[in-house]
Structure formats: structure tokens, C-alpha cells
Amino acid sequence: MMVGPKPTDLELLGFIDEMKRNIFALFIFYSCNLFAQDQLNELTVDRPGIAESPYTVRPGMFQLETGLDYYDRLGGEIFFLPVSLFRVGLSENSEFRISAKNVTNNTFDESMAGISPVSLGIKTHIIHQNGWRPETDILVNVIVPIGNSPLQPGKLGHEVLLLFQNDFSEKYAINYNVGLIWDGFSEESIFTTSLCFNYLPTEKIGLFAEYFNFIRYRDAEEFGIDGGLTYLLHPHIQADASVGFSWVDQEICYFISTGLSFRVVRSKPKLQH
């Protein structure tokens, strides 16, 4: 076996310095990856409130957002218990969504109870925020009747919404929507807009105030205001509560909502470079 020359003290010092540089570089790389993972782990949900956020669930994750809604409407009360939205990531820029409600409607001559039509949709991210240019998504839903009761539309409905958000700082943001809804109950389309102001006083608490409307050409229009809070119980669990009121045919209607949102990670998401 051949034995090479012994390294000099200068060579040993150079080797040690090189190792230090490599360890430091690995530390920086690992720290950056941890920061990116923290960014990926931010929990964004589409409840409470009317306005949808322009953010999608990442691949390898799914979310269940569920709760109770109570409406004091003209002619009686309406309960949604539960109202549920299931979201699963398809790619870095898109998600699949399915939502439904268990409805008790006391606004008819006789109380009616049952499942609402099921909404199937795709949310796709199309533009990243840059200065005043907002973060932008498009949401397309198909409203599918699942029975013949008065709670179900007579045919397929659909809705198309553009979703926007401007972040002004880590604590302040606004998100806003505009779109058209064909609910399947009539041939008439519904024009809708919403504007939501968001404030995060702490890392766990979020507050919001919102304006929304649903405008029909022939039927009654609805304009409303609501507000509420969210509380992050766990990095993957968030609670919410909100209250609001709206004007329909010059009458005031009230509503309250509370719920929980859960995120499940099926596999480790890939980091974007």
C-alpha cells in the first residue's frame, strides 16, 4: 500500500476553513428551506364571509371548511347545518372544490329540510401581485341539482368569479370579487360584487369587515355588510365567527355564522424555486 505525503499544517488549516464554509452554506440553505416551508404552511381559508380569497390549496394537501349559518330572512328563518366546503390541491396553481349545505328553510308555508344542490368547482391562480396589480384567481363552479324538492333548481347552474387581493403589509389587506351567477332556479343571471378589509392584529387572530351585493334585473336585490374574526387554534385548524345584515326589498335581514376549518397534509409539498 502506498502512503502519500503527510498534510502540512497550512493544508490542514485550509481544509478546516473549507469545511466551515460548507457547513455555513448548508445552514443558510436549510434555514431558507424552513422559511419557505413556513410560508407554505400559512393557512388560508374561504370562510367566513362572502368574498373568496385568490389563493389555492397546494398539491399534497386538502382542507375541510365547515360550520353553521343562521339567517333571519323575510317570512322566516333559514339554517345551514352544516355548510361544508372541501378543497384539494391539483397543482401549484389550481384546486378542486366541492360544497353543499344541509338546509332547514322555514320561509315557505311549510318548513322544508334537505340537502342543497352540490357545487363543483375549479379555482385557478392566474396573476401574482406586483405593486398595485392584485393577486388574481378565477373560480368556476357548476351547481348540480340532486333531487326534485323545492330546495333544488330545475337545471344545472353555474357561476364565474374573479378573485383579487392586495396586500399592503403583513397586517393589512383587501380582497374583492366580481362575477356572475346562474343559480338554475331561473334564466336570470345575478351580478355579484364583494369587498373585504382584513386586519391581523396578531399571528393567530384575524379581523374582517365586508360589503357585498347580489343584483338581479327583475327580482329583489340584496346589499349587505358583515364582519367577524378568525382564530388559529393550531397551524392546521382555524375557528371563525361572524355576524351581518342585508337589505332585501327594503327589509333588513340578519345572519350569524361560526365554524372550523381543518387542513390535512397528505404528502410533503414541493418547494417552488
Which range is least confidently modeled, 18-22, 68-72, 259-263? Answer: 18-22
Q: What is the pLDDT of residues 92-103, one digit of tens each?
A: 999 999 999 999
Q: What is the pLDDT of residues 166-188, one digit of tens each?
A: 999 999 999 999 999 999 998 89
Tell me how far apart the alpha carbons of residues 223 and 213 are, in angstroms, rounded to a whole number.
Answer: 4
Fold classified for 50-265 = Lipocalin (2.40.128)
Report the pLDDT value the prediction gives residue 219, as an integer from 0 to 100. 80
Q: What is the pLDDT of residues 113-129, one digit of tens each?
A: 999 999 999 999 999 99
Look at residue 73 and give its three-state secondary structure.
strand
Q: What is the mean pLDDT of residues 125-140?
A: 96
Residue bearing cell 340537502: 115
Say what percent of the chain tops pLDDT 90.
71
Report the pLDDT value the prediction gives residue 146, as an integer from 0 to 100. 92
Report the pLDDT value the prediction gives residue 38, as an integer from 0 to 100. 36
Look at residue 33 and give its three-state secondary structure.
helix
Residue 111 has pLDDT above 90, yes or no: no
Query: What are the extents of the domains in the chain?
Result: 9-41, 50-265
| DSSP 8-state code for residue 184 | S
Q: What is the mean pLDDT of the chain?
A: 85
Q: What is the mean pLDDT of residues 223-239?
A: 97
- Give residue 18's pLDDT band: very low, low, confident or very high (50, 70, 90): low
Neighbours of 67 (CB within 10 A): 21
Report the pLDDT value the prediction gives residue 270, as an integer from 0 to 100. 54
DSSP string for residues in 201-241: SSSSEEEEEEEEEEEESSS--EEEEEEEEEEEEETTEEEEE
The most confident of the ranges 24-28, 108-112, 149-153, 199-203 is 199-203
Report the pLDDT value the prediction gives residue 32, as an integer from 0 to 100. 34
Buried b (16+ CB within 10 A) or exposed e, 214-239: beeeeeeebebebebebebeeeeebe
Report the pLDDT value the prediction gives residue 267, as an integer from 0 to 100. 64
Longest distance between any two alpha carbons in the chain, whole Å: 100
Report the pLDDT value the prediction gives residue 70, as an integer from 0 to 100. 98
Report the pLDDT value the prediction gives residue 30, as an integer from 0 to 100. 34
Report the pLDDT value the prediction gives residue 15, as an integer from 0 to 100. 45
Task: Report which secondary-structure segment, H or E, holds 27.
Answer: helix 9-40
pTM of the predicted structure, to 2 decimals:
0.81
Tell me how far apart the alpha carbons of residues 268 and 188 are, in angstroms, rounded to a whole number.
Answer: 45
Closest C-alpha among 196, 189, 182 to residue 215: 189
Chain-centroid distance of CA 2 in Å reads 67
| DSSP 8-state code for residue 195 | E
Report the pLDDT value the prediction gives residue 12, as an integer from 0 to 100. 42
